Amino acid sequence: DEIYYNEAYRDQYHFSVKEGWDNDPNGLVYFNGKYHLFFQFYDDIVWGPMHWAHATSTDLLHWENQPIALYPDANGAMFSGSIVADVNNTSGLFNDQEEGGLVAFIAVDGNGQRIKVAYSKDEGITWKKLDNIAIDWTEDPLQSVHFRDPKVFRWEGKWFMAIAGGPFRLYSSDNLIDWDLESTNADIYTECPDLYPIKASDGKIKWVLVGSKEFPGRKRFYKVGDFTKVDGKWTFVMDKDYEEDEGSTTFGKDSYATMTYYVQDFGTEANPTLPEILELNWMNSWEYSKILAETLHQDYAGTFSLNLKVGLIKEGDKYLLTESPIENYNKLRLNSKVQKWKNVKLTEDNTLLKDFKGELYEIIAKFHPSKRTKKIGFRLRTGSDEETLVYYDIENEKILIDRSKSGVILNEQFKDVDSMAMKLNEDGTLDMHIYVDRSSIELFTKDDTINAANQIFTKPTSLGASVLIEGEEATGDITIYPLKGIWNNE
Ligand code: FRU
């Protein structure tokens, strides 16, 4: 494994497919002390008849590749779906296993889309598909052939399944095999839906529905609300704030198909058992992923985001989703090489970081712009005409990421400057938390309610960073940790 990690554009602390193609994370589940990541896979450098590949980890940093889990069959390709740990054998599939086993819900794509069930008694290494289709799109009251990406969770002693790919539907089951319709919402149109409860900063339990879609608007979106019975049927009822507008945490191009890990039964309203919710995103875009491997002359295409921890904070009357890198990434810090500045004066011609030449690094910064500061942020991975800009435009109240000079440009869309409306913190400061890997940049700002992930394909000689400033008189606190990759120490 260590050898292939050395490739020119291979991220050094993000998981990526070893060879071939990957897109969405699938079947994320924590079981018997291990995290399982399954993902959309095809044995070529472009998308094709989908398989589920598999990798496992105990720390979400180091991953071990496992055999391909699911192959296409006579019914079609294995599109995205989820896995739960059936620890109480509600399915009756694990009579001979005390600790239960894994049950997968797969969207089978062929002549319309259907949900199939498979199970594994050996922690996801071998799978047996049940013969029957669990739910056929022809039974869908909305009659849409887009009937995919099932995500299953447990609440109030019942299993629930969110399905979309087109409009949003909710089903329920007692045994994971026979499913009944609960409700539909044709106004929510998305790929890869996910629905989970979370304790917000005000102590209330709220439900978050997340989705991904290519058009229109933001690629990843969320809505906050409640999961409750309406006319006797379980329904996701969104808060007023989210009825028309959707929320979005992310403005970069390379973040799609979010899925959260199944950890346990969420319990009941009266007695909730809410685990920490962790999520993963495909760090790529349908706008250019299919030309990526060929353009970069590599035999794989597909990387995942950092593992993120989800939170919900209340701002005024509104709940806002937060996504933060998990703490385990702190283990990558080369603490002896940290560089820190406190309350340092920043001018347009500053050379503060001129001696820093890192490739993999983390920046934690707090800026205090003055009345005359126009733009503030960083130039990342700079060298011979290359740089990636991450900065805040004070006049236009926008956060931006610009990779038009980030090295290999995959196509026109890849070059777009991505941005999002954002205000400075109430005290006039600006926070930035940035992770730089060999071929990607992830930014977290505004209390982690806003983030961006973008791949960059710079030369290996484009290293380090500098402070970007237009206008004068800013000050800042800046910490830079060089990071180690997961297979090497420096
Ligand atoms: C999202 C998606 C899913 C689908 C899968 C197919 O990226 O389009 O909706 O199940 O990819 O690979």
Q: What is the mean pLDDT of the chain?
A: 96
Is there an atom of ligand 1 within 6 Å of 76 CB?
Answer: no
CA distance 18 to 303: 10
**Is pLDDT of 490 > 70?**
no
pLDDT band of residue 355 (cuts 50, 70, 90) is: very high
> Phi and psi at residue 181, in whole multiples of 5°?
-70, 135
3-state secondary structure of 130: strand
- Pick from 4-13, 278-287, 360-369, 416-425: least confident: 4-13
Contact 420, 219 (CB under 8 A): no
* 24 annotated active-site: yes
Q: Give 213 Cα–ligand 1 centroid separation in angstroms.
A: 10
Report pTM.
0.97
Q: Give 291 Cα–ligand 1 centroid separation in angstroms.
A: 17
CA distance 217 to 236: 22
> Ligand 1, closest atom to CA 149?
10
- pLDDT tens string 310-351: 999 999 999 999 999 999 999 999 999 999 999 999 999 999
pLDDT band of residue 216 (cuts 50, 70, 90) is: low
CB under 8 Å, gap of 24 or more: what pairs does 30-34 form?
30/85, 30/261, 30/262, 30/263, 31/85, 31/102, 31/123, 31/124, 32/99, 32/123, 33/58, 34/58, 34/123
> Ligand 1, closest atom to CA 165?
9
Element (H, E) at 310: strand 308-315
Strands 113-120 and 128-136: antiparallel
**Is pLDDT of 1 > 60?**
no
CA distance 61 to 87: 26
Contact 143, 186 (CB under 8 A): no
- The catalytic position among 24, 140, 265, 402 is 24
Mean pLDDT of 446-459: 98
Q: Give 46 Cα–ligand 1 centroid separation in angstroms.
A: 14
Is there an atom of ligand 1 within 6 Å of 40 CB?
Answer: yes
- Pick from 379-383, 385-389, 472-476: least confident: 472-476
Mean pLDDT of 242-249: 93
Other C-beta atoms closer than 10 Å to the C-beta of 352 total: 18
| Structure-token pair, residue 51 | 């398989």
Contact 263, 464 (CB under 8 A): no
3-state secondary structure of 411: coil
Is there an atom of ligand 1 within 6 Å of 107 CB?
Answer: yes
| Residue identifier of the C-alpha nearest atom 12 of ligand 1 | 79
Is there an atom of ligand 1 within 6 Å of 22 CB?
Answer: no
User: DSSP class of residue 412?
Assistant: H
CA distance 486 to 77: 33
At residue 489, the pLDDT reads: 47
**Is pLDDT of 190 > 80?**
yes
CA distance 138 to 375: 54
Using omega within 30 degrees of 0 as the cis cutoff, is the peptide bond preceding 216 cis? yes
At residue 214, the pLDDT reads: 83
Q: Which domains does the chain have, with CATH numbers?
A: 4-325 (2.115.10.20), 334-482 (2.60.120.560)
> Ligand 1, closest atom to CA 191?
9
Contact 25, 280 (CB under 8 A): yes
**Is pLDDT of 431 > 80?**
yes
Q: Give 79 Cα–ligand 1 centroid separation in angstroms.
A: 6
In testing the pocket of ligand 1, which one of 17, 21, 22, 24 has its CB within 8 Å of the most ligand atoms? 24
- pLDDT tens string 15-68: 999 999 999 999 999 999 999 999 999 999 999 999 999 999 999 999 999 999
Is there an atom of ligand 1 within 6 Å of 165 CB?
Answer: yes
pLDDT band of residue 488 (cuts 50, 70, 90) is: low
Q: Give 252 Cα–ligand 1 centroid separation in angstroms.
A: 19
Contact 209, 222 (CB under 8 A): yes
> Phi and psi at residue 387, in whole multiples of 5°?
-170, 150
**Is pLDDT of 218 > 80?**
no
> Ligand 1, closest atom to CA 109?
10
**Is pLDDT of 172 > 80?**
yes
Mean pLDDT of 5-18: 94
Element (H, E) at 35: strand 34-42
At residue 472, the pLDDT reads: 81
- pLDDT tens string 382-413: 998 999 999 999 999 999 999 999 999 999 99
- Please tell me the chain's helix, strand, coil percentages from 3-state DSSP, rounded to the nearest 5: 5, 55, 40
